[in-house]
């Protein structure tokens, strides 16, 4: 069986803590397609654009804000039978009661090193939800977007791949060459990336930006692009390519104006799902 044709279930992770978002994303990426959101507006955009199989809500010290800010998300999840799973840094009875009151199917403590158990809990809740939907719809489960439709959404686009190591650029180009009609331009450092983008900004649908590079690193290149006198420069998706998901690096990515990040080595599925997500949300 060709596993490349199996599309992962899509999970939306919500948290106001950038470090926690990064940790959960890295934990889930081998098993699911993952979208992240720190705000209700972006979470609603993802819910509108995709078939979401589960929503994971990460609550920290300010749990009251999590429950009030995302009430509309909870209502949509309930209407669409999307399982809500809450994970808390500090479990308490009051938050547990509130979680189940807004429609949670699971409330548990965040346990580092217990990734397999967490994945199993999500899969269990997704299976239960799909069974419920099948019963309510007379036996048919809502279809998830397949890999073919995702690839079609990238047809005709041009990506700019920025990395100082030629082999890395070629590997990325080879990965993207699976998509018919998608073109790839390359830059060997941030300065070259800025120059290429400045010459023809709207040529590019997305920039895949390595972080550590000579001459000009990915942070400075992204800041420079965002400061260009162009509305498009401020909204083109710039995805950081990073070997780590440390809080300090994630924060620097956000401060520089990067849209999201992929941890190297990323899979083909992770790359095209993220690309499709941001392009379909109209950020380019």
- Please write the tens of the pLDDT for every residue from 189-199: 999 999 999 99
Judge if 176 and 130 occupy the same domain.
no
Judge if 114 and 230 occupy the same domain.
no
The count of structural domains within the chain is: 2
Judge if 114 and 174 occupy the same domain.
no
Query: How does DSSP assign 132-199, residue by residue?
Result: HHHHHTTS-PPPPPPHHHHHHHTTT-EEEEE-S-HHHHHHHHHHHTTSTT-EEEEESSHHHHHHHHHH
Q: Where does residue 152 rank: exposed (0-12), middle (13-18), buried (19+ CB within 10 A)? A: middle
282: alpha, beta or left, given left = phi > 0 and alpha = psi -120 to 50? left
What is residue 157's predicted lDDT score, i.e. its pLDDT? 92
* Residue 262 burial (CB count, 10 A): 19
Check: pTM over 0.75? Answer yes or no.
Answer: no
Residue 121: give its domain's CATH number. 3.40.50.2300
Judge if 69 and 120 occupy the same domain.
yes
Average pLDDT, the chain: 82
Judge if 132 and 156 occupy the same domain.
no
In a domain, 266, yes or no: yes
How many residues are recorded in the chain?
Answer: 284
In a domain, 142, yes or no: no
Pick from 98, 114, 136: which residue ends a domain?
136
In a domain, 141, yes or no: no
Each residue of 133-184: pLDDT tens digit? 666 666 544 444 455 566 777 888 999 999 998 888 888 888 787 788 899 9
Judge if 161 and 276 occupy the same domain.
yes
Judge if 160 and 98 occupy the same domain.
no
Give dist(CA 41, CA 4) in Å, integer: 32
pLDDT above 50 (res 273): yes
In a domain, 225, yes or no: yes
Judge if 151 and 90 occupy the same domain.
no
What is residue 141's predicted lDDT score, i.e. its pLDDT? 43
Instruction: Using the structure block, give the residue that is written with the tokens 């807004």.
Output: 102
In a domain, 63, yes or no: yes
Per the DSSP assignment, residues forming a β-bridge with 207 are 160, 238
Judge if 109 and 152 occupy the same domain.
no
Judge if 106 and 180 occupy the same domain.
no
In a domain, 155, yes or no: yes
Domain with 249 in it: 147-280
Pairing of strands 158-162, 183-187: parallel
Judge if 153 and 247 occupy the same domain.
yes
Confidence of residue 112 (pLDDT cuts 50, 70, 90): low
Pick from 107, 136, 165: which residue ends a domain?
136
């Amino acid at each position: 069986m060709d596993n490349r044709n199996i599309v992962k279930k899509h999970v939306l992770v919500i948290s106001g803590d950038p470090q926690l978002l990064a940790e959960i994303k890295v934990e889930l990426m081998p098993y699911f397609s993952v979208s992240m959101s720190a705000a209700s507006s972006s979470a609603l955009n993802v819910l509108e654009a995709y078939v979401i199989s589960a929503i994971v809500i990460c609550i920290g010290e300010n749990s009251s804000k999590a429950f009030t800010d995302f009430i509309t998300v909870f209502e949509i999840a309930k209407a669409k039978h999307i399982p809500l799973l809450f994970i808390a840094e500090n479990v308490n009875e009051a938050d547990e009661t509130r979680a189940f009151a807004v429609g949670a199917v699971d409330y548990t403590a965040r346990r580092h090193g217990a990734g397999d158990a967490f994945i199993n809990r999500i899969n269990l809740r997704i299976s239960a939800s799909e069974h419920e939907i099948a019963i309510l719809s007379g036996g048919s489960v809502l279809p998830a977007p397949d890999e073919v439709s995702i690839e079609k959404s990238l047809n005709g686009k041009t990506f700019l791949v920025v990395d100082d190591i030629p082999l890395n650029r070629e590997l990325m180009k080879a990965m993207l060459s699976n998509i018919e009609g998608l073109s790839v331009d390359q830059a060997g450092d941030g300065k070259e990336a800025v120059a290429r983008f400045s010459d023809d900004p709207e040529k590019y649908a997305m920039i895949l930006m390595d972080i550590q590079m000579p001459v000009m690193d990915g942070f400075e290149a992204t800041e420079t692009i965002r400061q260009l006198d162009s509305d498009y420069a401020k909204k083109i998706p710039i995805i950081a390519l990073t070997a780590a998901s440390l809080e300090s690096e994630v924060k620097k990515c956000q401060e520089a104006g990067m849209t999201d990040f992929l941890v190297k080595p990323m899979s083909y599925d992770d790359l095209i799902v993220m690309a499709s997500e941001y392009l379909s949300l109209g950020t380019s």
